[in-house]
Amino acid sequence: MKNRLVYMDHAATSPLREEALEAMLPYLKEHFGNPSSLHTPGREARKAVNEAREKVARALNAEPEEIYFTSGGTESNNIALWGTVKKSPGRGHIITSAIEHHAVLDVCKDIEKSGYRVTFLPVDRYGLVSVEDVAAAIAPDTVLISIMMANNEVGTIQPIQEIGALARERGIVFHTDAVQAVGQIPVDVKKLKVDLLSLSAHKFNGPKGVGALYVRRGSALTPIFRGGGQERKLRPGTENVAGIVGMARALELAVEELPEKTRLLQEMRDRLIRELTAMEAVTLNGHPTRRLPGNVNVSFHYIEGESLLLSLDLQGVAASSGSACTSGSLDPSHVLLAMGLDHQTAHGSLRLSLGRGNSHEDVDYLLSVLPPIVKRLREMSPAYHRHQ
Ligand SMILES: *Cc1c(COP(=O)(O)O)cnc(C)c1O
């Protein structure tokens, strides 16, 4: 039991799967050509990029020409948001939520500084955005709505289809950061009525540093980077050919395996939630049912998620927390605070994000090592003793 690694941090990143690596290797070795070159090696690389584009499109029910390859979720979000805003220069209004990933939240704050008005919608105690709130926030000059599909910390799944229908009806561009959703739950861009959707390969067992932006046909964006003509000028720069090929392979397999994987993840998730919330002073964060199949987020009252995390690491368990120092800032997670948690409860949060490769044995192991750690930390906690 000692040297094992129980990896329960798939929302941060997931291991590259073997099939994706195998698909990538030829493009890191013999097929090293630049897709823009006209010679044979170049054409081989171009063909690989085109095939990958078809695979990614198929996985999302999109058309190949609606897929733009990027360096990941952060870049896709920046291109989507700034690319929309730059199209309507001067002033306007955008709507987003208070629980977005920083790759949307901080971009919106910059856009606000540039002269736009931004509405940061609140969420309920489960981390859910209300469709009525979105409708009420729409102004005559609203040009963009950006609401994430699933939250990376608490796993809450938003009513994207309903918001999409509303945005379409009002003629407002709708973007969703689907980085936590793609490869984890079904994502069909037509059904969701989204105009722009961001995804990232390393969250579904693909390589790091590669992602894509879906841009619905007819919704042109103003490029934020200038350079060559790659990705129809929206994302200039020589393509990460091996990364793109690896992402397409990983996504193709993730979609194929989705029903089976979902069943197992939900089983493990629900078991963890049941067992952990049965412990003294432990509460669930996020929605009881509308949540990602692999997401568990609980608060251990009177202790620091940070300490819990480090103790778990010593036992070979990799997890995450909404506690302060993890994120490099003094305040606990903006997501948990937006859900109405007090600082103490937010500091005691622990996120276990399950994924491909996790098994019931991992859950057994976690459930055997965690309670003694919690007991020990609480024995040292003045807050716990005051409560007693
Ligand atoms: C991981 C993540 C991102 C950032 O993606 P990168 O590919 O790491 O840049 C953006 N949004 C959400 C919801 C994420 O979970």
The pLDDT tens digits of the residues spanning 310-331 come to 999 999 999 999 775 555 666 7
Structure token pair of residue 257:
């395996």
Active-site positions read 325
Q: Under CATH, what is the fold of the domain 18-256?
A: Aspartate Aminotransferase; domain 2 (3.40.640)
pLDDT at 4: 82
Nearest to 368 by CA among 301, 300, 315: 315
Report which ligand 1 atom has the smallest distance to the Cα of 210: 7
What's the full length of the chain, in residues? 388
Span 221-278, pLDDT tens digits:
999 999 999 999 999 999 999 999 999 999 999 999 999 999 999 999 999 999 999 9
Give me the architecture of the 6-14+258-387 domain, per CATH. Answer: Alpha-Beta Complex (3.90)
Q: Where along the chain do its domains lie?
A: 6-14+258-387, 18-256
pLDDT at 327: 54
Give the residue ranges of the chain where pLDDT is below 50. 1
pLDDT at 155: 98
pLDDT at 311: 97
What distance in angstroms lies between residue 73's CA and the mean position of ligand 1's atoms?
Answer: 5
Ligand 1 — pocket residues by CB below 6 A?
72-74, 101, 103, 148, 152, 177, 179-180, 200, 203, 211
Residue 296 φ then ψ, to 5°: -125, 125
Using CA positions, which residue lies closest to atom 8 of ligand 1?
73
pLDDT at 322: 77
| pTM of full prediction above 0.95 | yes
Using CA positions, which residue lies closest to atom 3 of ligand 1?
73
Pocket-testing residue among 104, 179, 182, 208, ligand 1, by greatest number of atoms within 8 A of Cβ: 179
Q: How far apart are CA 274 and CA 98, in angstroms?
A: 28
Using CA positions, which residue lies closest to atom 12 of ligand 1?
179
**Residue listed under structure tokens 């949060």:** 349
Q: Kindly provide the residue ranges of all beta strands, DSSP E only, lying in the chain, ordered along the sequence.
A: 6-7, 67-70, 93-97, 117-121, 142-146, 173-177, 196-200, 211-215, 282-284, 295-300, 317-318, 349-353
Helix (H/G/I), strand (E/B), else coil: 143? strand
Q: DSSP 3-state helix, strand, coil percentages of the chain (rounded to 5)?
A: 45, 15, 40
pLDDT at 329: 63
Query: Quick one: DSSP state of residue 17?
Result: P
pLDDT at 246: 98
Report which ligand 1 atom has the smallest distance to the Cα of 71: 7
